[in-house]
Amino acid sequence: MSRFRDRRTTRRTARRAVVGAAAAALVVPLLAAGTRATADQPRDDTLQQQFAAAADRYHVPESVLLGVSYLQSRWDAHQGAPSVSGGYGPMHLTDARTALASSRQQGHTGTEDARGDSRRPARFAAEPAEPKPAGKLPARLRTLKRAAELTGLPADRLRSSTEANVRGGAALLADAQRRLGHPLSSDPADWYEAVAAYPGGGRGGPDATAFADDVFDVLRAGERRTTDTGQTVTLRAAPKLRPPAAADRARRADGRAECPRSVDCEWYPAPYEKWTDENGDEDYGNHDKARRPRSQKIEYIVVHDTEATYETTLDLVTNPKYVSWNYTLRSSDGHVAQHVRNKDAAWHAGNWYINSKSVGLEHEGFLTDPDAWYTEAMYRSSARLVKYLAKRYDIPLDRQHVLGHDNVPGPTTSSIRGMHTDPGPYWDWQHYFTLMGKPFTPKAGHRSGVVTIRPTYDEHKPVFTGCGSAGRTCPEHGSSAVRLHQAPDASSPLVKDVGLRPDGTPSTTGVNDTGARATTGQQYAVADRKGEWTAIWYLGQKAWFHNPADRPTAVPGRGAVLTPRAGLDEVPVYGRAYPEQAAYPEGVPAQALSPLPYKFAAGQRYVAGPKVPGEYLYAVTYDPDAKDFQVVRGKQRYYQIQLGHRVAFVKAEDVRVLR
């Protein structure tokens, strides 16, 4: 999360805080019950048969059961580990109290100033409140208990057995249908309201229908997938299926929230008010008023994970001494809460230039716990929100404009080591962009001078360390991140990042170490090729990654590249695109351009991103009417480049463009 003070004690406190908080848990060995194939039952059909049997037992259409499960888990078992909201198994039966009790403490390095404006006092996250006694959990976080009552199955079996878990989900759907006064019909269209109620344990409201809409989209399109246990599950398409007419209502977003109609959204405002610290000094929080996009173009969407539960996150964003972001997305059902108007500048990315030109999206999750899985419901809700924002503010849907927090550069050399690293290597960028209708595909021939990173997420499982504790090996898991070596050899040291390690030591396999990592969707200029290995220009050096033809981790790309103009041995790179000193009017202190320690040398090439003007948003006082802020613009122009894992900026006058 962009604002969280990254000391272990703070992470642990935030993780445990707030009534009803659900957390990710230790990887629990998956019990064999319901998952082994018998002699006359092929293994790849076992889970499919479990869905069929449960649907028959509780008189739920099999397609409805499969569709709900796909939105919750994509039919994966996750080795018996719970999701970030305490959901277990393919049906995401929630038992947040058990998940919280067995949770793994998270480690996360970084001391980022969320505001990222070096001419103002740093704004760090406030200390979260001490954990409160656990009270009654909301219905959406305790559906497993109700499933146990309905099926007579013990809770531990519902958590660990796919057969029991699917039965529990079927029982919940049937129970919701009865409570709504509807018959146990064989027609999937008759189950729309029960599906809408599912994430809330049978207590869904009449307007909370985005989840059901997504399930019905899946039912119409059909799906086929091999799960994390190696089993193939098929949901046949029903293109003519429609929900009942009563469900075709226009709404869904709270009228005060800036959201598409296709997501369930509410306005949950962050405070903009004055406060006084213990020394009597006055401050304000937790964002700045502006008039975007009239005052500044919104150029970026920044994807974060919360490093806390949804409930904890809402408590934090309503603290005026804390920091802010624009939206929070809930894992269990994809529900969206907006906190800061998009016209205003939230404090979330650790770089004031990026903050002033971006919208920040927080997703309930934990970077260092890959099995605290993101649900399909949240991915889809987020993708629809991003598409809406991109259309509204004319933001291209690519990885040069849709950034992870871990792609945002440190604004100065001293800030590089403290920059946050979420959403990390386990965020599925290819799936995310596919949901937006923009999958990463080959754009040129195989000898192209540009590549787009694109490993096959489910099959690509590099080893990471540092999950739970320093040096600890993370659970094996699919990843969007590709490792970068100093030579075309897997035993070669990883490339160096002199910003993270000024002593020149190589990068590590740490889950928070971004120094030798390229991620799905990012584009780089090719520096060399040798056998199954490809080299790219990365942080001023050749960086090699394994890219065999039969299991490619990148595809040919297309785009302009930049190289130093003739006569320059190297050009400086920057973490922010600020105007030249002469552009600042009286009363606005000039901001230092502050080159980063990386070198862009002659002969090297980097993929060109947007060409942007030098800009600085000067908003340093409490101003509810948004009258006192100024946007300083100069003559200086910059190109954004994919320098390493993070983007950077170079002066347009220092480079030439190669098409």
186-190, 206-210, 593-597: which range is least confident on average? Answer: 206-210
What is the spatial distance between Cα 361 and Cα 386, in angstroms, rounded to a whole number?
9
Phi, psi of 335 (to 5 degrees): -60, 145
Mean pLDDT (the chain) is 88
Residues 6+ apart with CB under 8 A from 87: 72, 73, 93, 94, 331, 332, 375
Domain ranges (residues) in the chain: 8-247, 570-658
Omega of the bond leading into 423 within 30 degrees of 0 (cis): yes
Per-residue pLDDT, averaged over 482-496, amounts to 98
pTM of structure: 0.90
For residues 21-48, one letter each, b for 16 or more C-beta atoms within 10 angstroms of the residue's C-beta and e for the rest, the string is: bbbbbebbebeeebbeeeeeeeeeebbb
Question: In percent, how much of the chain has pLDDT > 70?
Answer: 87
Phi, psi of 433 (to 5 degrees): -75, -30
Give the model's pLDDT for residue 3: 40
What is the spatial distance between Cα 122 and Cα 623, in angstroms, rounded to a whole number?
19
Give the model's pLDDT for residue 38: 34
Res. 199 pLDDT band, cuts 50 70 90: confident
What is the spatial distance between Cα 532 and Cα 278, in angstroms, rounded to a whole number?
60
Question: In percent, how much of the chain has pLDDT > 90?
Answer: 73
2-6, 61-65, 361-365, 554-558: which range is least confident on average? Answer: 2-6
Per-residue pLDDT, averaged over 185-196, amounts to 95
Give the model's pLDDT for residue 98: 86
Q: Which residue has the higher pLDDT, 255 or 26?
A: 255
Per-residue pLDDT, averaged over 69-91, amounts to 92
Res. 638 pLDDT band, cuts 50 70 90: very high
Sign of the alpha-carbon dihedral angle for 138, 144, 145, 146: positive
What is the spatial distance between Cα 63 and Cα 53, in angstroms, rounded to a whole number?
12
| Element spanning 380, H or E | helix 376-393
158-172, 277-291, 443-457: which range is least confident on average? Answer: 277-291
Give the model's pLDDT for residue 34: 35
What is the spatial distance between Cα 82 and Cα 76, in angstroms, rounded to a whole number?
11
29: pLDDT strictly greater than 80 = no
What is the spatial distance between Cα 276 and Cα 273, in angstroms, rounded to a whole number?
10
Q: How do residues 211-223 score in pLDDT, each as one tens digit?
A: 999 999 999 999 9
Q: Which two tokens stand for residue 439?
A: 């999958």
Give the model's pLDDT for residue 332: 87
What is the spatial distance between Cα 375 and Cα 394, in angstroms, rounded to a whole number?
28
Per-residue pLDDT, averaged over 175-197, amounts to 95
Q: Which residues, listed in sequence order, are joined to residue 282 by a DSSP beta bridge?
A: 276
Give the model's pLDDT for residue 244: 77
43: pLDDT strictly greater than 50 = no
Q: Please, how many CA atoms are within 13 Å of residue 415, restricted to the half-sphere of its CB?
A: 26
| Element spanning 218, H or E | helix 210-221
Q: How many residues does the chain have?
A: 659
Residue for token digits 């909370």? 208
Q: Which residues, listed in sequence order, are joined to residue 450 by a DSSP beta bridge?
A: 525
Res. 470 pLDDT band, cuts 50 70 90: confident
Q: Which residues, listed in sequence order, are joined to residue 224 by a DSSP beta bridge?
A: 234
Give the model's pLDDT for residue 581: 95
Give the model's pLDDT for residue 103: 58
